[in-house]
């Protein structure tokens, strides 16, 4: 078999070529290492695209397959996307307009990505200039404004006017800035009860998630169309992973699996039980697998619930940490110390200012050396110039092993 070396930008050419189909496949990954054949969406097509598709970030079998050599694999653990195994190093964007970047909120004069492309282009370029190559971007942390259309019974009927265009513009801007995206679909905030604020309605999804038929509509009318919007973009290779939901445990009540710690829901949500959340996430993941070849994870609130999603079809685990979490589940323990050996682990949300007991450089070096597969700080909008320089210094020191 001939060896195809993959220089920078080759996957972009592969993704957009109309007449050539070439897939770069790495050697069999080590046990527990997540891989994605093409860092982005699958077969494209319109809203009637087939529900059958890739799984586990692998996509369908290529017409012509040649071995691909990674010339700069991460020295530490990592996440493999296409040819490249890298320590997934990045930053939470996480939004410009909370719950408005994808679809907009017209009554509040909050516009989507396409209408504010210049602002987003500048921000993404600045993130990249400071060493982050992966950007976690929230999509529908609450459903309000024009992002999703509902009928009179509050059942979703489709995406709003600009949502699809905003998704595709975000991918285009990511290409321009040379960053890769982790789209975070939902958040525990979605489970706040339905309310009206200043003439804008926010629809809570608790009753939808609890009802199997209504839940299916949320998957078919919202999750699938978003995934298809990614798949139809010529820049879909910029989409490296789906984070299905941010901190789902904060929208849950009752026991966690295997007699683990009980869930402690946010005081303002209408919580659901583990089985209901697991059903929702499982159905969302199956839809994403069918429409996209990007990897899948869940942004867990804390290592406290390290076992909550082990039976869920994710490619790698993501955990968050803050000073309170660090008191009981400290940053300086390895994934193995926490009993996690089956899949890679990244820290997907931690203060860019560092913890009270550890400065940012200490955190990053600890995770890099102790077997974590990535670190994505919170957040660009909160960062000082000095903190951004610390991010850059870490990236510069580690070199190409932290850059896809």
Q: For residue range 163-189, what is the model confidence (pLDDT) as tens digits?
A: 999 999 999 999 999 999 999 999 999
pLDDT band at 62 (very low <50, low <70, confident <90, very high): very low
Mean pLDDT over residues 231-256, rounded? 98
pLDDT band at 49 (very low <50, low <70, confident <90, very high): very low
Mean pLDDT of the chain: 88
pLDDT band at 126 (very low <50, low <70, confident <90, very high): very high
Mean pLDDT over residues 31-47, rounded? 47
**Which pLDDT belongs to residue 347?**
98
What is the Cα–Cα distance from 348 to 164, expressed in whole angstroms?
26
Q: For residue range 197-219, what is the model confidence (pLDDT) as tens digits?
A: 999 999 999 999 999 999 999 99
Distances in Å between the Cα of 124 and the Cα atoms of 135, 287, 388 are: 8, 28, 13
**Which pLDDT belongs to residue 31?**
41
pLDDT band at 33 (very low <50, low <70, confident <90, very high): low
C-alpha torsion angle, residues 97, 325, 91, 288 (rounded to 10): -80
The alpha carbon of residue 120 and the mean position of all alpha carbons in its chain are separated, in whole angstroms, by 18
**Which pLDDT belongs to residue 146?**
95
At 144, which helix (H) or strand (E)?
strand 143-144
- Which of 35-49, 62-76, 80-94 bottoms out in mean pLDDT, i.e. has the lowest? 35-49
Domains, the chain:
3-402 (3.20.20.80)
Neighbours of 336 (CB within 10 A): 11
- Closest C-alpha among 149, 147, 246 to residue 191: 246
**Which pLDDT belongs to residue 258?**
85
* Beta-sheet strand order (sheet of 3-5): 3-5, 65-69, 23-25
């Amino acid at each position: 078999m001939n060896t195809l070396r993959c220089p920078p930008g080759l996957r972009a050419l592969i993704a957009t070529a109309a007449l050539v189909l070439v897939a770069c496949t790495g050697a069999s990954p080590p046990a527990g290492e997540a891989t994605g054949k093409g860092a982005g969406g699958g077969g494209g097509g319109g809203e009637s695209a087939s529900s059958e598709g890739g799984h586990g970030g692998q996509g369908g079998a290529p017409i012509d397959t040649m071995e691909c050599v990674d010339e700069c694999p991460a020295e530490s653990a990592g996440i493999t996307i296409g040819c490249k195994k890298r320590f997934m190093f990045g930053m939470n964007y996480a939004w410009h307009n909370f719950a408005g970047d994808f679809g907009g909120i017209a009554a509040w004069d909050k516009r989507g990505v396409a209408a504010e492309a210049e602002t987003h282009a500048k921000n993404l370029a600045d993130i990249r200039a400071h060493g982050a190559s992966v950007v976690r971007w929230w999509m529908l942390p609450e459903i309000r404004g024009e992002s999703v259309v509902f009928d009179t019974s509050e059942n979703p009927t489709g995406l709003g006017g600009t949502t699809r265009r905003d998704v595709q513009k975000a991918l285009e801007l990511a290409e321009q800035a040379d960053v890769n995206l982790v789209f975070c679909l939902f958040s525990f905030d979605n489970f706040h009860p339905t309310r009206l604020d200043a003439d804008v309605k926010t629809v809570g999804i608790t009753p939808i998630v609890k009802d199997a038929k209504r839940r299916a509509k949320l998957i078919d009318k919202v999750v699938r169309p978003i995934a298809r919007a990614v798949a139809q973009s010529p820049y879909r290779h910029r989409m490296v992973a789906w984070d299905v939901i941010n901190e789902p445990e904060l929208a849950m009540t009752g026991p966690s699996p295997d007699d683990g710690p009980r869930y402690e829901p946010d005081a303002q949500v209408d919580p659901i039980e583990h089985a209901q959340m697991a059903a929702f996430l499982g159905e969302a993941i199956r839809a994403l697998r069918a429409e996209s070849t990007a990897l899948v994870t869940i942004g867990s609130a804390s290592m406290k619930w390290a076992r909550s999603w082990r039976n869920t079809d994710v490619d790698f685990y993501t955990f968050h940490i803050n000073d309170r979490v660090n008191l009981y589940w400290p940053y300086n323990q390895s994934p193995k110390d926490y009993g996690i050996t089956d899949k890679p682990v990244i820290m997907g949300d931690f203060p860019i200012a560092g913890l009270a007991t550890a400065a940012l450089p200490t955190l990053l070096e600890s995770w890099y050396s102790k077997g974590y597969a990535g670190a994505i700080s919170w957040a660009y909008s909160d960062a000082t110039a000095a903190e951004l320089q610390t991010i850059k210094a870490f990236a510069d020191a580690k070199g190409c092993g932290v850059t896809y």
